[in-house]
Structure 1
Amino acid sequence: MTNDPELSAPVQDLLKDVRAHFPAPITLQVDDNISGRITHDAAQQEMQKDGSMVLHVYDATDLDYTVSHELLHIEMYLKGFPAMSLPVTTGDPKVDDQISATAVSIHNSASHLVIGAEQRRMGVITNQTEQAFISGISDIVPAEPTDGTDDGHLFYRVLTLLDGLAFFADNEDHLPAEWLQMYPEAFEDAQRLYATMTAKVIDSPFAVRRAIVKTFKDFDAMLDELGYVPMPHDQFCAIAPVLSQRQLKLEFRQVYDILHSDFVNRTTKEKAFLAIGKSDRQMAFALPLKTLSQDDALKIYDRTTADVLKQFGIIYSVRN
């Protein structure tokens, strides 16, 4: 284990820049394990009790890639790219886990389009990096059954391959033929989601948020088409607001609807009140209220969006 790994000059510069802008110290901790594969769970951001962060790398196969990947996630947060939160619960931990796992995967894949483009600009992604990434999927994700049976891994394959497609964005000619051979059905479904996610250029916090929301909807439509129960990503997952100056000045009712949900707010332990975007029907945040009378709801609706966000301490970004 080391706390002072050798990194390339571009990654050192990135680390210096992120440290300069992050509100608390960031240290690196790198384990000795080298698997020869790259996966996006090879590192984790671990917040400490004193408020500092440890960027813990569990697999040192490609330090420049893995460290820059985590640092760019932090940089996206610092630049106002929308974070996702899970403020409500269905009351069933298993269902909560299923919804949150798929949501996190889709959110991350959209973010990885931005991160991967920057890593390629930095020269971090080499041929060896690509081969290690390919192995990180081919060696770990089981191939589809050849007898047509359902082994329960279809959507794990689909979302993993969606992330694989995001990794090879603008470099589709490098996609490995083995993925299509190993995962024919899942690869086709992943391509559908990728087309939805990248239908418009992803170059801003607003564009990332739009891509996530549209992919949520398409994934849930896919579940329904395949005979599975759709997941309520729109009312379970809060995607932080990215609003224009005009929207901030509008009355809250012009930007959001308040939905009295059957889900339970994790903070209040009562039925949740959700702020649902009028244009995209996606939850932006859950109101931290135990009760909400009709009169109180009308008072919220009458105020400007900016005032309501400030009252409830909601973090948001301003659209360019």
Structure 2
Amino acid sequence: MQIQAFQPAVQALFNEVQDRLDGQIILETEPRQEEWVAFDQSGHRRDAQGNVHIILVHSTQPDFTLAHELHHVLFEITLGPQVQFPVTTARPELDQQIQITAQALVGSVEHGLIMDQQRARQEITPAIEHDFIQGIAHKVPTASNYFPLQVLMLLDALTFSGGQDLADWQTTYAAAFVAAQTLYQQLKKHLRATPTGIHRSIVELWQRYSQLLEQHQYLALPYSDFISLAPVLSPRQLRLTVEQLFFIKHLPFNSLKTHQRAYALVGRQDQQNAGELLSATKVTSLVYQQWYQQPVQEFLQQQQIQYQLRT
């Protein structure tokens, strides 16, 4: 597939993203064809040479689908949060559930910003809106026992619609729509196109989704311990001691690297795992004291924990 097959505005966005990359953007297609529009009709991956492969499904609105994924690539290289899954619950199905739902919620944070950009660029037409509604009807199951999935997909639908109920979703999905609407309102209240705003929105969304699951008699998911989310720090904070911003926690999960219980650096303000520590042995009180008194930047470099600078 060649970029020349797309509208001039999409070609311009393609060139804008290409100019920011060291490698090349390579367009690929999947054989499946869908007669609607959905956010999962595109994706991308990087290869060892730094090229970005954008994978597209045959949809009714190929220009929208490619433009949407290009916005995701642009988001990733400018603001993208660094999310890692360094531990295991020892229950593969639970690990997978945490990872899939966490990534879906990160995607909703991205969509909260990307859809604003796509509307500002006039990339959303009545035909695209119609086909997106058809996609929701095809992809979101209506049975009440699919509540966790319904919430995730309806949250994405609300990011597309700007919070509007485009197809009487509140009747079709009842409890899930109310839950998704609550998440969406909270997301838009605090979401800003800055590393700090994105970090905060992701942590809040993880926490609130887990709380919703528990309120509806589903298993709460331990996002704060299980997932490492790179901290966002100012130059001043990098000069503070570790103790002023973080605490060190012996997690209830095993490290995928050491196969022993993992130690993590955890933010004091949001309680979110900021990164796994390298230590594979039992940490003594003396080691704790030494760690806590180190400057944050020195400690992060020593422990090979990535961070983003506050802007």
TM-score bucket of the superposed structures, by smaller chain: over 0.9
Aligned equivalent of 1:305 = 296
| Partner SS, residue 141 of structure 2 | coil
Q: Distance in 1 between matches of 2:73 and 2:306?
A: 16
| Partner SS, residue 21 of structure 1 | coil
Q: 1:292 to 1:164 in 2, by over 3 A?
A: same
1:289-315 CA-to-partner distances (Å, cap 9, x unmatched) read: 322522333322222111222223333
Q: Does 1:193 align with 2:192?
A: no
Q: Distance in 2 between matches of 1:266 and 1:192?
A: 35
Percent of aligned pairs sharing the same letter = 29
Q: Distance in 2 between matches of 1:83 and 1:315?
A: 8
Contact 1:38 1:62 in 2 (8 A): yes
**What one-letter code is carried by the residue in structure 1 that aligns with 2:75?**
M
**What one-letter code is carried by the residue in structure 1 that aligns with 2:234?**
S
Contact 2:276 2:305 in 1 (8 A): no
Q: 1:71 to 1:97 in 2, by over 3 A?
A: same
1:186-232 CA-to-partner distances (Å, cap 9, x unmatched) read: 10111111122222242322111111111211112222222222110
The 5-angstrom pairing of residues 1-40 of structure 1 reads 2-4=1-3, 6-31=5-30, 33-40=32-39
1:253-307 CA-to-partner distances (Å, cap 9, x unmatched) read: 1111111012112223221111111000011211233225223333222221112
Q: 1:313 to 1:184 in 2, by over 3 A?
A: same
The 5-angstrom pairing of residues 309-320 of structure 1 reads 309-320=300-311
Q: Which one of 198, 205, 217 corresponds to residue 215 of structure 1? A: 205
Q: Offset at 1:64? A: 2.2
TM-score normalized by structure 1? 0.90
Contact 1:29 1:55 in 2 (8 A): yes
Q: Which one of 283, 287, 295 corresponds to residue 296 of structure 1? A: 287
Q: Offset at 1:80? A: 3.1
Q: Distance in 2 between matches of 1:83 and 1:258?
A: 20
Q: Offset at 1:116? A: 0.8
Aligned equivalent of 1:180 = 170
Q: Distance in 1 between matches of 2:113 and 2:103?
A: 16
Aligned equivalent of 1:147 = none
Q: Distance in 1 between matches of 2:136 and 2:43?
A: 19
User: After the TM superposition, which of the residue ranges 108-117 and 218-227 deviates more from structure 2?
Assistant: 218-227
Alignment gaps of 5+ in structure 1: 145-149
Aligned equivalent of 2:238 = 248
Q: Does 1:153 align with 2:143?
A: no
Q: Which one of 218, 222, 225 corresponds to residue 235 of structure 1? A: 225
Contact 2:191 2:201 in 1 (8 A): no
TM-score normalized by structure 2? 0.92
Aligned equivalent of 1:206 = 196
Q: Distance in 1 between matches of 2:220 and 2:80?
A: 27
4+ runs deviating over 6 angstroms: none
Q: Distance in 2 between matches of 1:80 and 1:139?
A: 32
| Partner SS, residue 57 of structure 1 | strand
